[in-house]
Structure 1
Amino acid sequence: MQGLLLLGALVLGLSLAGGAHTPSIYDEMHEDDDDVSAGGTDDAGMKPRLPTAEATLGPLICPRSFPGLLGCNDSDTLLLPNSSQALLLGWVPTRLVPTLYTLALALGLPANGLALWVLATLAPRLPSTLLLMNLAAADLLLGLALPPRIAYHLRGQRWPFGEVACRLATTALYGHMYGSLLLLAAVALDRYLAVVHPLRARALRGRGLAIGLSGAAWVAAAVLALPLALQQQSFRLVGADRRLCHDALPLGAQLAHWRPAFACLALLGCFAPLLAMALCYGAMLRALATSGRRYSHALRLAALVLASALAFFAPSNVLLLLHYSDPGPRAWGDLYAAYVPSLALSTLNSCVDPFVYYYVSAEFRDKVRQALCRLAPGNDSSSSKTSGDGARVGTGTRSTSLV
């Protein structure tokens, strides 16, 4: 819910930025079309006025990224309408978005790094531990993919690293983010089997299932993100000393390539996993609710996991589908300007995962304290509290960390 409220505030802020009203790209098109079609001239009456981006794009605009026209005899430059440039270079993309990315990096990198280390060295070797290790790795890799995007936005939408790096950065950002969501669905399925079908889970919840679910999530994320690496994404902006990365794309490529690519990402990479999580956690909540107050903590935890995934991932992907629901000029306007901050908001889920899945567990917190005490110089007292394999004596199957 907080993610949805923040998104609403961002959209409202975009509409108020730069004055009482920011002219839409479509308003400018209709104002200029008459002049160009009538062969309008400049004020001095010397020569015909050249058609602007607003006049030339016409009704074929597909608002995924800001649509641009390729420069004359140059496939490396794009001409953008003034209204799109104002939104692209405003305070939201150049200040708010890098702030959100920096927050995701500063919180997610150490939290997921510590979680991955503890899971790999101290946690019981359960099948669910393998799933959580993959989830922590995906969130950790997502954090490592953010520094180039942060530098790009802080430099005022200037990409300094070249075309290949732009493709790799975009592919890594989307691939790791949707991979994290697919792994969340895999964890939900594992917990569903353990809670709703405990007898059947003894035969199904083995190491083979955990490896299969993890591998399927990584392969699916790679396949869904692959189209992002197949098209040029960095272009120079006509009339400005800026090279954009993915924020402005040629109109023809948007219609032929990017529309199906991002429709698949939203439907298969986001809404299908969210639906699977809703069904699994819904069945878990129903089963736990009938068991009485003994499982109230686990019930609240399952509800928190589902709510956080919906709050962080749903807004950006809803905006993504709205972009493609009707590409007409009077449909949705410059929704990409709202999509950019909502995408940055989605990365904050990588900061929430460790605290929801690991740190809410008293058992996991004990393991973290043990690990930190071992690292402290001259302190080896914690070793006597653990078994020879570095974990607390016992199976650890009653942990509330969803392990």
Structure 2
Amino acid sequence: MAISCCQRFVLFALIFSTTALCQLKQDPSKFIGRSFPLLKTASNNQLNESTKSQLTSSVVMVMIPAIYSIILIIGLPANGMALVVLATKVQRLPSTIFLINLATADLLLILVLPFKISYHLLGNDWLFGEGLCRAMTAFFYGNMYCSILMLTFISIDRYFALVRPFFSKCFRDNRFAVCCCSLIWLIVTASIIPFLTQQQTYLIQDLNVTTCHDVLPRELQSGYFFYYFVCLVVFEFLIPCFVTLFCYVSIIKKLMINNGKYAKAIRAMVLVLIVYLVCFTPSNIILLIHHSEHRLWDSSELYLFYMLCLVLSTFNNCIDPFIYYYISDAFRDKVRSTIFCMAENDGDSGKNKQQLVLTSSS
């Protein structure tokens, strides 16, 4: 039944994207009026003063790229090491397969962060072409919803392993995990088709910059994208969120009843809740409010909030490695041994250097 619903959602997204493209080809005049996401603008790519001040504010040009840089510095080595450890040193279990795919999704986003940082530092001027802009935009939204679905399936896997162990023997194996991950990637790929097919870069004459995803046709925002984001929020955020909460609450109840050690399960649940509340919830709520306002009043004043929420949605790349640590015992042991070996090697090298100094001095 769950697969049937996913297939319906994929078909729904494909039909929507195809319909929108046909309408845009039939009526090019709809591209004349444009607006910033969450801000009202004038026609012919001319911006009003309020939009200019917010688009060129220190929040967008300094603070946001600084936060992205911190995420890049922390997320790249953390997820890189996690992927190497999970792929080469940890026993291949269903939970390991889900964690490998989650780390891969995080790394795909981290690899495009330098382009995003450069874009904001240059005053929201995109220099890398239309194709890379579409890819970066798709990676941002794709990472968020792929992470949500992966975390949901990880919680389901833990639920059956700890709460329904006898029932899970019928289907819980590596092949099932691979099929689930493939289904998630298929759903996410279908979900980001509109970002890959819709023009994302526009030249803004007032500021002499080419924006990436910051200017879209007004009709597209208030019409097609409204229904599109409603579907994303309901099927790829709200429902997975409730499923994840149910699974972790059931796991903790089961462990408490059986007098088991549930401290790690609580830590994992707290981290997942932080990811949902801090990273995913603000972005999805602001997106819905924005497109609702455009649909009802053809305006919105939430541009900076949207940008900040988009930054928050990428913080999961820094939190996910800690989730790996508490969910996978094998991953935790391998990380500890790796860190211990590195510290031991540093200590040995320091002793060797000290002996060399003593020898040379004598």
Question: Could you say which TM-score interval applies, normalised by the shorter chain?
Answer: 0.7 to 0.9
CA RMSD of aligned residues (A): 2.9
Q: Is the 8 A contact 1:111 1:354 kept in 2?
A: yes
After superposition, the C-alpha distances for 1:67-122 in whole angstroms (9 at most, x for unaligned) are 44552xxxxxx122221221122121111211221121111111111111111111
Q: Which residue of 2 aligns with 1:348?
A: 315
**8 A Cα contact 1:62 1:255, kept in partner:** no
Shift of 1:286: 2.3
Structure 1, unmatched stretches of 5+, are 1-55, 72-77, 380-403
Instruction: Give 1:66's match in structure 2, choosing from 39, 43, 57.
Output: 39
More helix by share: 2
Instruction: Letter of the 2:313 partner, please give it.
Output: S
CA distance in 2, matches of 1:352, 1:149: 20
Alignment of 1:327-338 (within 5 A): 327=294, 333-338=300-305
C-alpha displacement at 1:365, in angstroms?
4.0
More displaced 10-residue stretch of structure 1: 281-290 or 167-176: 281-290
From 237, 257, 267, give the equivalent of 1:290. 257
Residue correspondences, number: 316
Structure 2: 5+ residue runs without aligned partners? Answer: 1-31, 347-362
Cα distance in 1 for residues equivalent to 2:326 and 2:158: 18
2:231 equivalent among 244, 248, 264? 264
Aligned counterpart in structure 1 of residue 90 of structure 2, from 96, 119, 123 = 123
User: For residue 342 of structure 1, what is the amino acid of its counterpart?
Assistant: C
Aligned CA distance change for structure 1 residues 155 and 347 (closer, same or farther; 3 Å): same
Alignment check: 8 A CA contact 1:235 1:248 kept: yes
Matched residues in 1 for 2:35 and 2:124: separation?
A: 21
Contact 1:63 1:333 in 2 (8 A): no
Pairs within 5 Å for 1:289-368: 289-292=256-259, 294-327=261-294, 333-358=300-325, 363-368=330-335
Could you tell me how far apart the structure 2 residues matched to 1:235 and 1:328 are? 22
Seq. identity, %: 38
Q: SS where residue 79 of structure 1 aligns? A: coil
| Larger-Rg structure | 1
Deviates more, 1:227-236 or 1:260-269: 260-269
Aligned to 1:145: 112
The 3 A distance-change label for structure 1 pair 204 and 329 is closer
Asked if the contact 2:62/2:121 (under 8 Å) is kept, the reply is yes
Q: Is the 8 A contact 1:185 1:277 kept in 2?
A: yes
What code does the residue aligned with 2:247 have?
Answer: C
Counterpart residue identity of residue 205, structure 1: R
Distance in 2 between the 1:116 and 1:339 partners? 31
Label 1:289 to 1:339 Cα distance change in 2 as closer, same or farther (>3 A).
Answer: farther
Residues 233 and 284 in structure 2, CA contact (< 8 A), matched pair in contact too: yes
8 Å contact 1:188–1:277 — kept in the other structure?
yes
Cα distance change on mapping 1:82 and 1:226 into 2, 3 Å: same
Determine if contact 1:128/1:187 at 8 Å carries over to the other structure. yes
Match of 1:247 in 2: 214
Q: TM-score, normalised by structure 2?
A: 0.79
2: CA distance between counterparts of 1:226 and 1:66? 24
Q: CA deviation at 1:157?
A: 0.7
